[in-house]
Amino acid sequence: MLNPVEGEIFYVDKPLRWTSFDVVKRIRGVLSRRTGIKKVKVGHAGTLDPLATGVMTVVTGRATKRIEELQAHTKEYVADIRLGATTPSFDLETEVDAEYPWEHIGREQVEAVLQRFLGTIKQVPPAFSACKIDGKRAYKMARKGKEVNIKAKELVIDDIELVAMQLPVITVRVVCSKGTYIRALARDIGEALGSGAHLVGLRRTRVGDVGVDYCEQVSQLIERLEKEEMVLPEEMSGQK
């Protein structure tokens, strides 16, 4: 029996082009209807960009107090990086703004460059991100064409390896700390290889010990929430 007020944790495989808020909104809608509570507390532990898929942790009720703890878990990603071209957002959200040679790049060079990013590194987050500058979201400023200056942040890359190489696209597996922008990592890898780069595909395959195989599709979770028994607010008050 589910208890959305006391708190539940759901793991979903976020669909492509959905925002993290889209997922939260759908789940909140079902829970509100089932429990009769207009504003059921629902949140998520770690934003995934619309163009990314994979493990997303959704929490409800009192479990939302655990968001910071859940966000701190190590994350694993598989990223497709297109060499030889850059975009302002470092991914496919914006159009290519510059092109560079990539024919000089070989497997050994890529593998050697990736090792430079192991351990504690400093990374400048993308201008097209949710980082706040003077209380304003960076992406809102960037979309208006305003100059965005974001300070470098310290983070940890626990593991990074080349999974596949079909130039000009390379596929990389990354295990990293919270706060890592894989888009910014793609930018930095491109620069280190003497060529621009941007992210063309991203899948979060693990959060902590939870792999993507353990996750439900959003449609599956919604169907389960529609059918499964729930502890309602009046039943909780009757237990006290």
Maximum pairwise Cα distance, the chain = 71
Contact 113, 81 (CB under 8 A): no
User: Measuring CA to CA, how many Å separate 47 from each of 58, 67, 138, 196?
Assistant: 10, 12, 15, 26
Nearest-CA neighbor of 48 among 146, 182, 152? Answer: 182
Q: Where are the beta strands (DSSP E) in 71-168?
A: 75-83, 85-86, 98-99, 119-123, 132-133, 136-137, 153-166
- β-strand partners of 12: 56, 216
Burial class, 159, CB count within 10 angstroms (exposed 0-12 / middle 13-18 / buried 19+): exposed
134 is catalytic: no
Question: Out of 49, 91, 97, 209, which one is annotated catalytic?
Answer: 49
Asked if residues 138 and 132 have their Cβ atoms less than 8 Å apart, the reply is yes
Q: What positions carry a catalytic annotation?
A: 49
